[in-house]
Copies of this chain bind each other. A is one copy, B any other.
Amino acid sequence: MKTVYERADIVPLLAEIFRELGYEGATLSRITERTGIGKGSLYHFFPGGKEEMAGAVLADIDGWFEEAVYRPLRNDDARQAIAAMWLNVADYFRSGGRICLVGAFALDGTRERFSAAIGDYFIRWIEALRSALMRAECAEREAQTLAEEGVCGIQGALVLSRALKDEAVFTRSLETLAKRLEAATR
């Protein structure tokens, strides 16, 4: 008996492992152990090894955010898209129970390896949010500050709720942020 995978099935499994253990902590043996996928299969799909695996995970995350968050922020009704962002983000990060892999990679030596992808992710998020804020009748300077503050606050909330093992901190922080941005678009 043998189980057959395809690349698209493996990426989300890898994502969860990198999230829990970090790039350096996610050893090949821990990956095979947790996924049940042998080294042979992993290197078949990701000949570049661990670095290619993490790269695929980052690309997958980027794709999800582009579709579910950035694009609506850029194109849809501004206030509605911002409201949807808070819901999607709270859902995606499981109310703080799940971390942002891109943010985690930014903090240690892994940043050097993926600096382009990491920078892109945040720049595009901030830019998309700024665009939505401006369409919602927010002054240009204020929109930039608020966009940065929003993304910044989400990252901080993830660190804090993880450190305190308290999802309420995350939920509360997001609510405060949402109110502040909403107030600026009235």
Q: Which of B110, B149, B160, B172 contacts A122 (CB 8 A)?
A: B160
- Residue A40, interface by CB 8 Å: no
Number of copies: 2
The majority secondary structure among interface residues of chain A is helix
Q: Which of B25, B115, B156 contacts A155 (CB 8 A)?
A: B156
Chain B residue at minimal CB-CB distance from A103:
B159
Given A21-B24, A104-B104, A111-B163, 18 more pairs with CB closer than 8 A: A20-B109, A22-B107, A22-B109, A25-B108, A102-B163, A103-B159, A104-B107, A106-B162, A107-B158, A119-B163, A119-B165, A148-B160, A148-B172, A151-B160, A152-B157, A152-B159, A152-B160, A155-B156
